[in-house]
């Protein structure tokens, strides 16, 4: 099952978050990595200011147990599959995929 974020306009630079609080309980996030599927559907790790299939990953942040990615641009009417991977203080690794629809508003 994939989750879905609200639509992003191609002209906006916006933050999109994954809240792991209820899932992690007493554990906490040590690090996070984001991935965006490229045009062929290959999960591609993104780094600061990198473009994948027309969308730009600006940066990621962690605040408590919330991992946030900032995105700019994107291709109108395209749905991006974004994956958030976290590592925790207990040495566990988890991933969640989220759909980011891009649409002119």
Q: pLDDT tens digits for 27-39? A: 999 999 999 999 9
Q: What is the mean pLDDT of the chain?
A: 96
Contact between 79 and 100 under an 8 Å Cβ cutoff? The reply is yes
Q: Cβ neighbours of residue 60 under 8 Å, at least 6 residues apart? A: 32, 33, 34, 67, 68, 69, 70
Which DSSP category does 8 fall into?
Answer: B
Q: What average pLDDT does range 70-93 have in this prediction? A: 98
Q: What average pLDDT does range 15-44 have in this prediction? A: 96
Q: What average pLDDT does range 7-21 have in this prediction? A: 97
How big is the CA angle at 80 (ends 68 and 44), to the nearest 5 degrees? 75
The reported pLDDT for the residue numbered 105 is: 87
Percent residues over pLDDT 90 in the chain: 96
Q: What average pLDDT does range 59-69 have in this prediction? A: 97
pTM exceeds 0.85: yes
The reported pLDDT for the residue numbered 80 is: 98
Kindly indicate the confidence band of residue 1, based on its pLDDT and cuts at 50, 70 and 90.
Answer: low
Maximum pairwise Cα distance, the chain: 43
């Amino acid at each position: 099952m994939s989750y879905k974020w609200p639509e992003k306009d191609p002209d906006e630079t916006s933050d999109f978050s994954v809240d792991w609080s209820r899932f992690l309980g007493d554990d906490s996030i040590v690090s996070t990595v984001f991935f965006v599927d490229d045009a062929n559907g290959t999960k591609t790790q993104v780094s600061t200011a990198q473009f994948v299939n027309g969308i730009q990953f600006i940066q990621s942040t962690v605040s408590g147990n919330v991992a946030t990615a900032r995105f700019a641009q994107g291709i109108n009417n395209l749905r991006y599959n974004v994956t958030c991977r976290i590592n925790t203080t207990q040495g566990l690794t988890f991933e969640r995929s989220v759909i980011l629809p891009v649409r002119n508003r």
